[in-house]
Amino acid sequence: MNKTEHDLGRIREIVAEYEGDEHSLIEILQRAQEVYGYLPEDVIYEIARLKAIAPAKILGVATFYTQFRLAPVGKYLIMLCKGTACHVNGADGIENAVFEELGIRDGETSDDGLFTLKTVACLGCCSLSPVMMINEETYGSLTPEKAKEILRGYKA
Ligand code: FES
C-alpha cells in the first residue's frame, strides 16, 4: 500500500462529524475517498486510531466493497468490461491494445499518472460489446485499433 504522508486534518474533521455514530464507517470511508481520491494507508490508520477500530477491520471493509480504492488512480480511469458478451466479442484483444498503448494491466496506473485500468464484470450495455468506459464516457463496438485511437485522443 501507498506510504505517502497525507494531510490528516481533513479526516480528523470528518470523523469528528460522526462522533457517537457507531455505524458510520462506510460513510467515513466514502468521504475520505472523496477527499484523498483513494484510501491511503496513513488515512486508514488515522481513522482506526480515532474510532478505536483495528486497522485490519477497516481494510476488510474497504476491500469488500468495490467502490473503495486502496491505491491512487490516474486522471482517467479505464473500466474495461470482461463480462460474457464482451469476452465473446473480443475484450481480450482490447485489453492487449490497452497494454500496447499504455503499458498497463488490470489494476495498474501508467507511469505518467494519467491512466488506470480496471477490468469489470459487466457495464450494463452488452449490446455495444466490447465496451470500455473512460471516466463517465462509454465507448462501444471496440476493435483494438479503435481502442488505441481513443486512448491516443486522451493522451493528446
Ligand atoms: S458484458 Fe460487457 S457490457 Fe455487459
Choose the residue to mutate in 80, 88, 131 for probing ligand 1, maximizing ligand atoms within 8 Å of C-beta: 131
Q: Where are the domains of the chain?
A: 9-64, 76-155
Q: Is the CB of 78 under 6 A from ligand 1?
A: no
- pLDDT at residue 1 is higher than 50: no
Q: Is the CB of 132 under 6 A from ligand 1?
A: no
Distance (angstroms) between ligand 1 centre and the Cα of 92 equals 13
CATH class of the region 76-155 = alpha beta
Three cell numbers, residue 148: 488505441
Q: Is the CB of 122 under 6 A from ligand 1?
A: yes
- pLDDT at residue 4 is higher than 80: no
**pLDDT by residue (tens digit) across 68-98?**
988 888 999 999 999 999 999 999 999 999 9
**pLDDT by residue (tens digit) across 57-71?**
999 999 999 889 888
